[in-house]
Amino acid sequence: MPETAQKISGKISAGENLKGLPYLVLDNVRIFNRNDVYAFRTLFWWGNFFSYTVHISGNYFNQLKPVLPSILNQLDSELTFICIQNDQWQYHFGPDNYLPLKEVKINESAINKILQNGFIKISGKSAIDLPELALHNAFKFYEEFLKVLSKNIRTL
């Protein structure tokens, strides 16, 4: 995780219209500037789901790009989704935006195409009717990402 992100406090924001429904967002590892993003975003989308996303772009993406295929192959692909389109600001889990990682990581050309977007978003989600599991799942998801990241970052 970038040192800068450790010094920035989390931020909660809300909105009324994510595809017609209200939402809450917690960015509790966050660097957002014009060209670079490193964030862990938790989203509560009313009537849909809780999601948690590692979002990396710009210089952070460029630094990690050589090891991202290895990272993707080491993540638990049963519960992990990857953004496949070129708009990094969409958070719905439709098949035009996210695919299960298990479907993508068996296809090297698909991974290479995703990496050409200049960003990566790796996400998980929890059912709306089990809010008590959402926080646990989000922590578990990010902890797994950081463990895999730390193993691979040594090779850079």
- Alpha carbon of residue 83 to chain centroid: 8
Which H helix or E strand runs over 109? helix 108-115
Q: Using DSSP, state whether 129 is helix, strand or coil.
A: coil
Least confident of 4-8, 90-94, 137-141: 4-8
User: What pTM value is reported for the model?
Assistant: 0.85
Residue 82 reports pLDDT greater than 70: yes
What confidence tens digit (pLDDT) does each residue in 94-153 have?
A: 999 999 998 887 677 788 888 889 999 999 999 888 888 888 888 899 899 889 998 888
Residue 80 binned pLDDT confidence (cut-offs 50, 70, 90):
very high
Strand order in the sheet with 49-57: 11-18, 21-32, 37-45, 49-57, 119-127, 81-83, 98-100
The 3-state DSSP composition of the chain as helix, strand, coil percent (nearest 5) reads 35, 35, 30
Instruction: Give the model's confidence band at 59: pLDDT under 50 very low, under 70 low, under 90 confident, else very high.
Output: very high
